[in-house]
Each structure stands twice: as structure tokens, then as C-alpha cells.
Amino acid sequence: MTSEAATSAVSAEEIARLEDMARRIRVAVVRTVKDRKVGHVGGPLSAADVLAALYGRIMRIRPDEPDWPDRDRFILSKGHSSLGQYGAMALAGYFDLDELFSFNKKGSRLQGHPDMNKLPGIDMSTGSLGMGLSAGLGFALGARHLGQDFRTFVLMGDGECQEGQIWEAAHVAPRYGVDNLIGIVDHNRFQQFGWRGETAGHRLPPQESGDLVARFKAFGWRTLEMDGNDMADVVRVLEEAVQPTGLPTAVISNTLKGYGVSFMAGNYQWHMGVPTDEEFATAMADLGESEGGAA
Amino acid sequence: MTLPEGKPLRLVFGETVTELAARDPRIVVLDGDLGSSTQARIFEDAYPDRFYQMGIAEQNMLGVAAGMAKVGLVPFISTFVAFALHRPLDQIRVLIAQTGANVKITAGYCGLFTGKAGKTHQIVDDISVARAMPGMVVISPADEVETKQVMAWSLEYDGPVFIRLVRDVTQRLFEPGHKFKFGQVKVVREGRDITLISTGTQTPRVVDAADILAAAGIDAHVVHMPTIKPIDVAGVVAAAERTGRVVTIEEHTVIGGLGGAVAETLSEHRPTRVDRIGLQDHYTEAATDAELLDMYCLSAERVAQRVQKLLASAGPVTSCE
């Protein structure tokens, strides 16, 4: 881990504000899954800090003007973590947090996987893994072609990096020197099922530690690494990532799947799942929320 | 008499996208390392900064196209149909068709003519595949004149369009004054005895077949259907009503392509006997273009023979001889 003290430019109050936003995203994810009795939970929890940093500070966005042409673009390539994105968007002001309870309902704008034609503020529809980095490269090339200075952020999963298309995009991007493209890998060390480890209950991580940094570096990317569940480190590294260097940037965000909820953290069985009433109470307590309180 | 030879549609593609780019700054070309074959090289020479070489990585290429389209550019795709449609099918489905991205899938080397490349490159189910995808427009132009118009029209349409292009020299059907009308069939020969519906570069061969049939006393009504999706229901019904019997002819599988679309339409709107001439349920192989047309019953002579047999038969005729 590369955790260091936050740079002096970012105040402790600002970090605390973003940490609370991440906490509220986690609460919203668990609450929605409990209410709707469906949804991916482990992935959104691991990525909540990155989503809070992006929507709460890093990205140049106008939630009340989601089609603003100069907005930074965001693609959730690991589209099954949509609840985390929806939580971040709601807290950023795109829509009311209560709309999360419509998740997956008939007629909802909040589809299981993000749909740009239904929900303003979604820059690209996703859900079939491996595609986001390519679309993000299209945004980045398009921005440069049109002389626009927006940046494009693509959040991928580490399991998702098993898709060949990721490496097709990784191969082409450095040829065009798109330093307005920032790929972030939520390296939470689990995928849905994966390879069996020592025992039936032990599953191997999708990539060995360090592999993703080495691979993106070998493809010609600038690589950065951070503790993706440490807000000070997340903010510091993402602010470094947006500084142009002539190369696309890959940020390997070391996280833990299910982070923030004691019984979900590091447990592959919480890729999807609905907590019981007891588990829900535990989760809310873990997240510093009194049960029944507003998210 | 036979229709004259025309310019190969790949050359028409390279020239036309370059001409269109002069007046539409939104146009970019994405190439999958085949620009020297598809003739996108012409565009690269004229507009090197608007030509994006994406390498041999077509799933990424179609994804990049989706992203570029969503910031206001109009990407044209340069590669063979096998790599423009089949290989990146899920990327097209999720990123382009589901989002309505303004990408023009100008698919080269459709059908049998692949420079003897054989089974991997001979794609004869692209119409079926593209047509089954919600949100996708599917157009198969007949010749140089129509291809230019289809490409120009595609810029006026905001959404994904699949355009079926052919590698080699085919015949010229239309005079320069011809006007492509999106979503409409075009009667290219009036007749009373039997309706022949065709599409793409097969239509000129069907017009020639109609001349052969005329010499045998059969007056064929020939309809060209460039827009396969959305289909011209009224045009197809009118063509069927004209003679009461329809034969479709396509350089494509008979499963789900032009013949499938016509049969679906008529069975619902105007039940009529439809016989389908085209590739049967098998893979193809390398040979010269003339040999392929003969082998698969798509030359003017073979089409005329087959239509005569159909007229003399109460049931279907599936053999080429």
C-alpha cells in the first residue's frame, strides 16, 4: 500500500466530508439491497470511496445539468456495481436518494446495469464486462479531436480485467497519448466465483497482487497505486492521476470486497446477497448508522 | 443484354467517405488494419488526423466508435464484415444499438466475393444477424450510384446503420440520377408473370435474369429492396399483389435474410407463396467470383433457370441445376 498523509492542499475536513459520503453510499447500497431483495453488494462497497472521491470532489460535473458538454465523463465498466454509482450520484445531487428504492422496479430509471438512455448523468451504458475502457478511449479521443478539455474516468473490476477487450483498449490507448483518460481498477481481490483455493471455502483472487500494475505498465500506461479504501490516499492519487503526462493513466485501487461491513468484507459469498434482519442491523451498526435512520 | 460493370463498392466507400468528410467535420474513420483492402486508405491520405488506426482489435474498435459517437463525432468503420459485425457483436449490441450511438458500420467484403479467402471471410448471414438487433438499420445498396447515396443519407440519420459493401467489381444498375429512398423498395422492371425481389449487388444479376426469362416468354416484375430494415411493408405487399407469386434472390443465406424478411411480411400482411433463392444451410468455400455465382445458383443464367423450374413445379426447388 502507498498510503501517505494527505497532501496539505486537502484539508482534514474535506477528507472527513468525503469519508462520510462514502459511508453514506455504503449505507444506501445495503439499504437498497435489503429493501429490494436483490442486487450486487460486495463490489459497490469496495468501490464506494473511489466513487465518493470522484463524484464528491475530483470530477467536474453539474448534477443539475447532466448533459453539460464539458463535464468530465464517467463509465462504470463494472456495471453490476451500479448501486454504488447511483448512491454517489444521488448524494452529488443528480436525484433524490429515495429513488434508489425504485432500483430494478418496472419503469425505474435505475436499471440493474446503468442505462444512459434511461438515467441522465450516465455517460455510457454498461453491464457486459470489458467494454468500458474502449468507450472511454472513444470519449478521450473525441475530446481531443474536438478540442474539449474534459477528462474521462473508467472504473473497472479486477475480475473484469480477465476480458480480452480491456487489453485491446490498453494496447491502443498509449499510441494516441490520451492523458485525458484515467482507468481505475477496483482491485478488490474477488470475483463472482473464481478459482478454488486450498479448500472449498477459499477462492483465489482474480489477479495476483502486483500483476495489474505490471500489466498496464507493460502496455505503456502510466500506473499509480493506491489504498482505495483510504480516502486521503484516494484523493491524493486521483489528483495526481489527472495531471497530464502524455500517457493514459491506470490507477490500481487496492480495496477489499465488501469493505465497511464486517461479515461481508473479504467474503466472496457477498458478491450478491440479501442480508437477513440481523445481518442488516449489524451492517448498519458497522456503518455507523442507527437502523431506521435516514441514509 | 447484360448490365455494364461498375466500380467496386469498396472503392466507392473509400472515395465517398472522403468526399463526405469535406463537408461534414463530424466524420472520422476507424480502421481495423484493413484500410489498404477496404480503401479507407483514400481517407487516410486526405484526412490523416481524422483517421484512427485501431489495430487488429475490433471489439475495442466498435467500443471506441460508440464513445466517439456519444461526444458528437460520426465514426465510419473500416474492416471486413466478419470483424465489423460478428466478432464485436456484443459490443455493437450493448454500446451502439442499445444506446442508439451514431456509428456507421460500413461492412466490407460482404457475401461471397472475398478474393478467394474462403469460409472464414465469406459472411452470408450478416443481414440476418444485423436485422435481428433492435435499433439497427440495415441497407444493402445495389451499385456505385446507390452506395454513394446511402452513405450520404446515413449522415442525416442519427443512429446506427449497417451498410453492406462488396469487395469486387459488380454491375451498375442505376443511372446517376437515381434517388435512394430510405425504407422504400424500387421497381426496376415492370412485369406481370412473377415477382422477383432482390437486394444489394444481386439485383443487377436478377435484372439480367429477367431478360433471359423474357426471351423464354416469362415477364418478370423485378423489385430492388435496398433497405431491409425497416422493411417496406406496403412496397412488398404491392409487389406480391402484382403477380401473386414471389421469388426472393440474395447473395446471402435464405435463413433470416431478405427472403426471411419478405416471407415474414407477406405471411402476416398478404399471404403469398414465396420461394427463396440464396445460400442454403451450409458453409461456403473459395473459388473465383464467377464460379461462386454458378455454384450457388446466383448468376443471371442460374437464377433464370431456377425461376423457370419453380414456375413449372408445384413444390419448392432447392437444387441449383
Contacts 24+ apart (CB under 8 A), B21-26: B21/B46, B21/B47, B21/B50, B24/B74, B24/B155, B26/B72, B26/B73, B26/B74, B26/B155
pLDDT at A290 over 80: no
Contact between chains at A172 and B54 (C-beta distance less than 8 A): yes
Least confident of A62-66, A163-167, A287-291: A287-291
Residues B197 and B246 grouped into a single domain: yes
Query: Does residue A261 contact residue A283 with C-beta atoms inside 8 Å?
Result: yes
Contact A242, A58 (CB under 8 A): yes
ipTM over 0.90: yes
The share of chain B scoring above pLDDT 90, in percent, equals: 97
Give the closest of A135, A148, A176 to B95, CB-based.
A135
B148 with B224, same domain: the answer is no
* A77, closest residue in chain B (CA to CA): B95
Nearest chain B alpha carbon to A118: B99
Confidence tier at B1 by pLDDT (50, 70, 90): low
Q: Specify the CATH number for the domain of residue B121.
A: 3.40.50.970
Rounded distance between C-alpha atoms, residue A41 and residue A52, angstroms: 16
Q: How far is A106 from chain B (nearest CA, A)?
A: 18
Interchain CB contacts (distance < 8 Å): A and B:
107
Kindly list the residues from chain B whose CB atom is less than 8 angstroms away from the CB atom of residue A111.
none
Of the residues B105, B131, B164, which one is the last residue of a structural domain? B164
Q: Which residues of A touch B134 (CB under 8 A)?
A: none
Chain B residues in contact with A126 (beta carbon < 8 A)? 94
Does B195 lie in the same domain as B159?
A: no
What nine digits make up the cell of B153? 443519407
Choose from A73, A124, A134 for mutation: most chain B CBs within 10 A: A134
Contacts of A124 in chain B (CB under 8 A): 66-67, 70, 95, 99
Among residues A182, A168, A180, A176, the alpha carbon closest in space to that of A143 is found at A180
B92, pLDDT greater than 50: yes
Task: Tell me, yes or no, whether B160 and B191 share the same domain.
Answer: no
How distant is the Cα of A175 from the closest Cα of chain B, in angstroms?
A: 10
* Residues in chain A whose Cβ is within 8 Å of chain B: 115-117, 123-128, 130-131, 133-143, 145-146, 148, 164-165, 168-169, 171-172, 175-176
Which of B59, B72, B94 has its CB closest to that of A125?
Answer: B94
CB contact under 8 A, B95 and A125: yes
Same domain as B152, residue B227 = no
Q: Do residues B262 and B220 touch, judged by C-beta distance below 8 A?
A: no
Do A135 and B66 count as a contact with CB atoms less than 8 A apart?
yes
> Does any domain span residue B122?
yes
Q: Are residues B216 and B268 in the same domain?
A: yes
pLDDT band at residue A293 under the 50/70/90 scheme: very low
Quick check: A292 pLDDT over 80?
A: no
Band (pLDDT 50/70/90 cuts) for residue B321 is low
Does residue B131 sit within a domain?
yes
- Considering the domain architecture, whether residues B26 and B139 belong to the same structural domain is answered as yes
> Can you tell me the mean pLDDT for B173-201?
97
What are the chain B neighbours of A131 within 8 Å (beta carbons)? 59, 63, 90-91, 94-95
Cell numbers for B195: 415477382
Q: Is residue B65 part of a domain?
A: yes
Model pLDDT for residues A245-272, shown as the tens digit of each residue: 999 999 999 999 999 999 999 988 898 9
Residue B110 shares a structural domain with residue B216? no
For residue A209, the model assigns a pLDDT of 83
Q: What percentage of chain A carries pLDDT values higher than 90?
A: 90
Q: What is the pTM of this model?
A: 0.96
Residues B276-287: what's their mean pLDDT?
Answer: 95
Say yes or no to pLDDT of B145 above 80.
Answer: yes
- Calpha distance A14→A3 (Å, rounded): 17
How high is the pLDDT of residue A291? 54
> What does the domain layout of chain A look like in residue ranges?
12-286
Tell me how many domains chain B contains: 2
Q: What is the pLDDT of residues A7-61, one digit of tens each?
A: 458 999 999 999 999 999 999 999 999 999 998 999 999 999 999 999 999 999 9
pLDDT at residue A139 tops 50: yes
Cβ–Cβ gap B99/A139 under 8 Å: no
Instruction: Provide the residue range defining the domain that includes B280.
Output: 186-312
The alpha carbon of residue B94 is apart from the nearest alpha carbon of chain A, in Å, by 7
Chain A residues in contact with B54 (beta carbon < 8 A):
172
Binning pLDDT at 50, 70 and 90, where does residue A72 land? very high
- Residue B125 to residues A266, A295, B4, B229, Cα–Cα distance (Å): 47, 52, 28, 15
Residues of A in contact with B52 (CB under 8 A): 141, 176
Check pLDDT > 60 for residue A223: yes
Whether residue A127 has pLDDT greater than 90 = yes
Say how far apart CA B144 and CA B140 lie, in whole Å.
12
Q: What mean pLDDT, rounded, does chain A reach? A: 94
Q: Do B72 and A142 touch (CB under 8 A)?
A: yes
Q: Examine the pLDDT at B197 and tell me if it is beyond 70.
A: yes
Identify the domain boundary among B106, B130, B164: B164
B85 in a structural domain: yes
The residue among B130, B164, B198 that closes a domain is B164
Instruction: Answer whether residue A294 shows pLDDT above 70.
Output: no
Examine the domain organization and report whether B239 and B157 are in the same domain: no
Is B91 close to A136, i.e. CB distance below 8 A?
no
CATH of domain A12-286: 3.40.50.970
* Residue A3, pLDDT above cutoff 70: no
Mean pLDDT (whole number) for B166-189:
96
- B301 with B211, same domain: the answer is yes
pLDDT attached to residue A134: 98
- Mutation for A interface: B31, B49, B56, B64, most A CBs within 10 A: B64
Mutate to test the interface with B, among A168, A176, A178, A181 (most CBs of B within 10 A): A168
- Does B88 have pLDDT greater than 90? yes
- The pLDDT assigned to B315 comes to 84
Q: Give the minimum alpha-carbon distance from B184 to chain A in angstroms, rounded to a whole number.
A: 29
CATH for B203: 3.40.50.920
Cβ–Cβ < 8 Å for A206, A159: yes
pLDDT in tens, B56-81: 999 999 999 999 999 999 999 999 99
Whether residues B140 and B38 fall in one domain: yes
Residue B3 lies in a domain: no
Q: What is the pLDDT of residue A177?
A: 98
Residue A238 has pLDDT above 90, yes or no: yes
Same domain, B141 and B234: no
Residue A295 pLDDT > 50, yes or no? no
Confidence band (pLDDT; 50, 70, 90) for B163? very high
